[in-house]
Chains A and B, each alone.
Chain A
Amino acid sequence: MKQPALIIKNLRKVYGNGVEALKGVSLEIEEGDFFALLGPNGAGKTTIIGITTGLVNKTGGSVEVFGHNTDSEPEKAKTFIGVVQQEVNFNPFEKCIDIVVNQAGYYGIPRSVAVPRAEKLFEDLGIADKAEQRGIELSGGMKRRLMIARALVHRPKLLILDEPTAGVDVELRRGMWDYLRSVTSRGTTILLTTHYLEEAEQLCNNVAIINRGEIIASGTMKDVLGHLKSETVLVSLTKPVPQSALKALSAHNAKKVARNTIEIEVGKENELNKAILALHAENLQIESIRGKTGRLEEVFVKLISGNG
């Protein structure tokens, strides 16, 4: 029987300045899952990660990593975790290879084992030619990949990624998605926080949304997307939007957002078809239809703003 990779129960954190960052958060992540933890800035995501990895002292509650309580068996629990933190946190004057090999050393892995592992990770992540360079010489995207290599060198069963693709260009981000998919396909559980909700929607099976220190939605990606009662769609016409089109689509809260483009809201009950028919009735030709944002992003915005 599979053991949960991470169990968080009633986690609370009040910082020294009185800010209540977590108000009794509970979460469970199954082994092998690719789990997204989403929330606006200051929602408590990084605090949860900090407590789980031993960088933040909790006020109450408990955390178990593969059955090992972080209070009673902190060192055992940490052996299972690899973490990529939000901020770049390596010594910029060290060589990249040393940064990763030293990290392995802190887990008790000898250099003879760590060096080939690090070289393989560098190769897989496309930074093999940077191994002998100092961290300070790397670009932002390379620094992120170096941090992923560092987090994986001891082969953790739970990989925690706190905004791993922040500031990374689109092409590189998609390359990192492919790499993370390959990591999770080998059985590693991943907990991801990201601001790119498309990223979570593409990669993750399960999701929790946190706001002001409380989980406001959680479940499978399908369940959470089920919160979406309507989607925002952009309809581009072959000619400028006439006033009659907005009138015809008034039931869909139509708004002209560009010369040829209307933004409408459509529910699940065949409403898009009805909108298309309404435009045809006005003799308007549709050039393209596309979602305004990712579906998860819409759910997220609605939940955070209290309209979910």
Chain B
Amino acid sequence: MNNKELWISFYTIVRKDVVRIFRIWVQTFLPSVVTSVLYFLIFGAFLGARIGDINGFPYISFVVPGLVMLAVVTNSYSNTSFSFFTSKFFSRNIDEILVSPTPPWVLLAGYITGGVLRGLVIGVLVLLVSLFFTHLTLIDPALILFFFILTALIFSLAGLVNGIYAKTIDGINIVPTFVLAPLVYLGGVFYSVSALPDFWRTLTYINPVFYLINGFRHGFLGFSDVPVLYSISVLLAITLALVIINLYLLKKGLGLKQ
């Protein structure tokens, strides 16, 4: 395939996924928005005043970046894992791409772009909802955008690995419940790592979500529990590793071909 044909194939995969995401918006967009409203109500209006400021910012301003990340992480992940799994397991229409000359890297790029777009749309929606509860400061918009995209990218890639490997629908649900949720909730969405005892602080440093939330929060508030450059290095390494794993799985056809 020449470059134009590769682009058309990529565009087709993305378009198909975006059409699906918007067609079932009640399942894809609404739940995160509703959940965020509840979080903002609880941590802003009900509990926020009692908890007090963190690093000079009201608690609600501190948790907004974390809650945006929570929505981006869960949606990017579930988009690729669910969309890939259903197309290989239920309708088996993943064959449409596998029998075509579309190379594995275009398939990867297409699915990941779908996940990233869903993560970004959800993130923007949650940010907009947060404006009803607090005023946002944007210290470094470029950094915010960078972490926004990087988060969606990493979890789309991770979701795709799950989608490729999963053999049953349980395989899709187990990881978000027992791995993803603890990583996100223990990654500093609701608290600063400096407030943790040594053991829990050390444990937090091996959680990739911690670096995402901190980098993202730095863009809004101008402070972070770890240097931003360190966060970026860790996350780029994780991204690269996930790209390599996905490409290997797709090329070998593990979980896809008999």
Q: Which A residues fall within an 8 A CB radius of B?
A: 15-16, 50, 53-57, 74-76, 78-79, 81, 83, 85, 87, 89-94, 98, 102-103, 105-110, 150
A108 lies within 8 A of B2 (CB):
yes
Given contact pairs A106-B9, A108-B1, A78 touches B91 in the complex (Cβ within 8 A):
no
A57 lies within 8 A of B9 (CB):
no
A108 lies within 8 A of B6 (CB):
yes
B101 lies within 8 A of A75 (CB):
yes
B91 lies within 8 A of A106 (CB):
no
Among the listed B2, B91, B98, which residue makes an inter-chain contact with A55, where contact means beta carbons less than 8 Å apart?
A: B98
B258 lies within 8 A of A56 (CB):
yes
Question: Does residue B95 face the partner (Cβ distance < 8 Å to A)?
Answer: yes
Inter-chain CA distance A102–B23, complex, in Å, is 17
Given contact pairs A103-B96, A106-B97, A16 touches B91 in the complex (Cβ within 8 A):
no
- Chain A residues, Cβ within 8 Å of B257: 50, 54-57
Besides A15-B258, A75-B101, A105-B11, 15 more A-B contacts (Cβ < 8 Å) are: A54-B99, A55-B95, A55-B258, A74-B101, A79-B1, A89-B93, A89-B95, A92-B91, A94-B16, A98-B16, A102-B16, A106-B100, A107-B5, A108-B101, A110-B8
B101 lies within 8 A of A76 (CB):
yes
Query: Which among B5, B9, B96 has the greatest number of chain A C-beta atoms within 10 A?
Result: B96
A89 lies within 8 A of B92 (CB):
yes
- Chain A residues, Cβ within 8 Å of B208: none
- Chain B residues, Cβ within 8 Å of A92: 91
A78 lies within 8 A of B100 (CB):
yes
B93 lies within 8 A of A109 (CB):
no
- Chain A residues, Cβ within 8 Å of B11: 105
A90 lies within 8 A of B103 (CB):
no
Given contact pairs A105-B11, A108-B5, A89 touches B96 in the complex (Cβ within 8 A):
yes
Given contact pairs A106-B102, A107-B5, A108-B1, A91 touches B95 in the complex (Cβ within 8 A):
no
- Chain B residues, Cβ within 8 Å of A54: 98-99, 257
Question: Does residue B31 face the partner (Cβ distance < 8 Å to A)?
Answer: no
A91 lies within 8 A of B101 (CB):
no
- Chain B residues, Cβ within 8 Å of A85: 95
